[in-house]
Amino acid sequence: MRAIVIGGFLGSGKTSTIIRLGKEFSAQGNKVAVIVNEIGEIGIDGDVISKYGLDTTELTSGCICCSLKVNMKTTISLLMKEFQPDVLLIEPTGIAFPQVIKNEINLMDLKGTIVAPLVTLIDGSRFKQLMKEVKHFSMRQIIDAEILGINKIDLMEPRQIPIIEASVQQLNPKAKVVQLSTKIEDYRWYNFIKLILEEDTIKKNTALRTASPELSVMEGTQAVDESMDSIEASGISSYATEFIVEGEILPDVARTVVQDIMYMIKSKVIECSPEFVGHIKMFFENGNETVKMNITAHYEEPVMEIISSKTEEPKFKILSAVSNIDKEVLINIVDTSIIKAFASKGINVHKKRNLHHHLISKL
Ligand SMILES: Nc1nc2c(ncn2[C@@H]2O[C@H](COP(=O)(O)OP(=O)(O)OP(=O)(O)O)[C@@H](O)[C@H]2O)c(=O)[nH]1
Ligand SMILES: [Mg+2]
């Protein structure tokens, strides 16, 4: 089995990359499994990935009673026993230090398993904003990587690309820096795959890293302490929830409600955190289609995507992770916006209770 960890900050394109890699590896005849770790007790990416026909297991973090590491180890062992994948794609949360996950897999010492070089994706189109809002956290993710993918180059001004490439390379001279776009299929994409599969060509970047020496020279009070929890170090507040929606919902109503919720949340979040980065993503299944909408920075226009899907009951999920905002404030903004938007269409909703479950039991 080949285990591939695709890390990167919130909204950098991890799920999009995993879907594309998964489809490609499957098309070549490999058995592909995906483990997605999401913040909070609600997962969206696992649902999205499943809609593309890949097998997924979600792990939820932010939960006091499960230790992510134990959970992941058990999941990997079970997957290997019961599914025997050829390729295992792993998406840590956007506020994890992916090196920790890779180290855990290495320590499991799995027979016949190749652990691919650690990939960190960077959203090139948000690089400046990330360096402003979550600088030290992003730097730590960059420093730990073995392959650095500057993603979303389709959104970047061409003359900016080499400038950012050079800045990123300077932060981590040992890593291979590549340009990427999950929306473009060209030689760069195939070069990226080649690098992932060429595990020996990359000099082991201190496989079991205990300290990032580069960090010790960083100045400033926010420098990331190695012993610090990654969630704490990120300065990100997050909140995820699910609502049960009553009655039959027409597709155009679903789209409007999602849009209304997104714009309400965006405007209120900006009032509290004017230059926020993060990821606010919604997922509304309503019979014949799924409406997905998301935003990753204060200046962006939210993006709506429609995925055709047959479902029995309407289901609304949201995951919000935002920089420089108080968690209680974020929870209040999200809940009130959802209730208000549905009420304005005369639709009854109620929060799903007992969200917590050990997803391992799904296997
Ligand atoms: N234009 C463009 N958009 C992209 C690209 N890659 C991802 N996106 C978009 O960026 C947004 C976030 O992508 P995801 O794949 O969900 O990012 P993620 O890293 O998995 O996000 P989290 O799991 O929330 O941390 C989505 O709207 C994607 O469609 C890209 O190369 N170009
Ligand atoms: Mg994701």
Structure tokens, 66 = 């499960």
Q: In 3-state terms, what secondary structure has residue 96?
A: coil
Question: Which pLDDT score is estimated for 226?
Answer: 54
Q: CA 1 → CA 50, 79, 120, 227, 254, distances in Å?
A: 21, 11, 21, 31, 41
**Residue 51's pLDDT is what?**
75
pLDDT tens for each residue of 264-292? 999 999 999 999 999 999 999 988 899 99
Of 296 and 235, which is predicted with more confidence?
296
Percent of the chain with pLDDT over 90: 61
pLDDT given for residue 69 in this prediction: 57
Residue 354: the pLDDT is 59
What confidence category does residue 357 fall into, taking pLDDT thresholds of 50, 70 and 90?
very low
For residue 94 and ligand 1, the question of a CB distance below 6 A is answered with yes
For 2-203, the fitting CATH number among 3.40.605.10, 3.40.50.1000, 3.40.190.10, 3.40.50.300 is 3.40.50.300
Cβ of 185 less than 6 Å from ligand 1 = no
Can you tell me the distance from the alpha carbon of 20 to that of 118, in angstroms, rounded to the nearest whole number? 17
Q: How far is the CA of 294 from the centre of ligand 2 (A)?
A: 11
Distance of CA 327 to the CA centre of its chain: 19
Domain ranges of the chain: 2-203, 236-362
Coil, strand, or helix at residue 288?
coil
Report which protein residue has its CA nearest ligand 1's atom 7: 13
Among the atoms of ligand 1, which is closest to the Cα of residue 18?
15
Please state, as a whole number, how many other Cβ atoms lie within 10 Å of the Cβ of residue 339. Answer: 15
Q: Given this model, what pLDDT does residue 202 score? A: 45
pLDDT score at 77: 87
Nearest ligand to the C-alpha of residue 238? Answer: 1
CA–centroid distance, 15 to ligand 1, in Å, is 7
CA distances from 159 to 156, 270, 358 (A): 8, 30, 47
User: Which ligand 1 atom sits closest to the C-alpha of 151?
Assistant: 31
Give residue 85's identity as a one-letter amino acid code: P
Q: Which residues of 141-156 are buried (b: 16+ CB within 10 A; e: fewer)?
A: bbbbbbbbbbbbbeeb
What pLDDT, on the 0 to 100 scale, is given for residue 71?
76
Q: Whose CA is nearest to atom 8 of ligand 1?
A: 13
pLDDT in tens, 112-163: 899 999 999 999 999 999 999 999 899 999 999 999 999 999 999 999 999 9
Instruction: Encode pLDDT of 206-253 as tens digits.
Output: 444 434 444 433 433 344 555 567 777 778 999 999 999 998 899 999
DSSP state of 93: -
Distance CA 178, CA 165 (A): 8
Taking Cα atoms as reference points, which of 232, 198, 5, 204 lies closest to residue 99? 5
Q: Where are the beta strands (DSSP E) in the chain?
A: 2-8, 32-38, 55-60, 87-91, 114-115, 119-123, 147-151, 176-179, 236-245, 277-285, 289-297, 303-308, 315-323, 349-351
If one compares 334 and 80, the residue with the highest pLDDT of the two is: 334
Q: In b/e form, how buried is each residue of 232-245, taking b as 16+ CB within 10 angstroms?
A: ebbbbbbbbbbbeb
CATH no. for 236-362: 3.30.70
Report pLDDT for 57.
Answer: 62
Q: Is the CB of 99 under 6 A from ligand 1?
A: no
Atom of ligand 1 minimally distant from the CA of 9: 25
Q: What is the pLDDT of residue 208?
A: 42
**294 close to ligand 1 (CB < 6 Angstrom):** yes
Residue 181 Cα, ligand 1 centroid: separation in angstroms? 10
CA distance 178 to 32: 24
Determine the average pLDDT of the residues in 294-319: 92
Rounded to the nearest whole angstrom, what is the distance from the C-alpha of residue 94 to the centroid of ligand 1?
A: 11
Residue 68: pLDDT band with limits 50, 70, 90: low
Length of the chain: 363
For the chain, the average pLDDT equals: 85
6-28 mean pLDDT? 94
Lowest-pLDDT choice from 27-36, 252-261, 320-329, 354-363: 354-363
* Lowest-confidence segment of 59-68, 195-204, 257-266, 292-301 by average pLDDT: 59-68
| Confidence (pLDDT) at 58 | 61
Asked if residue 124 has its Cβ within 6 Å of ligand 1, the reply is no
Q: Does ligand 1 have an atom closer than 6 angstroms to the CB of 46?
A: no
> Residue 283 is encoded by which pair of tokens?
């997922």
Which pLDDT belongs to residue 122? 98
Burial class (CB in 10 A: 0-12, 13-18, 19+), 82: exposed
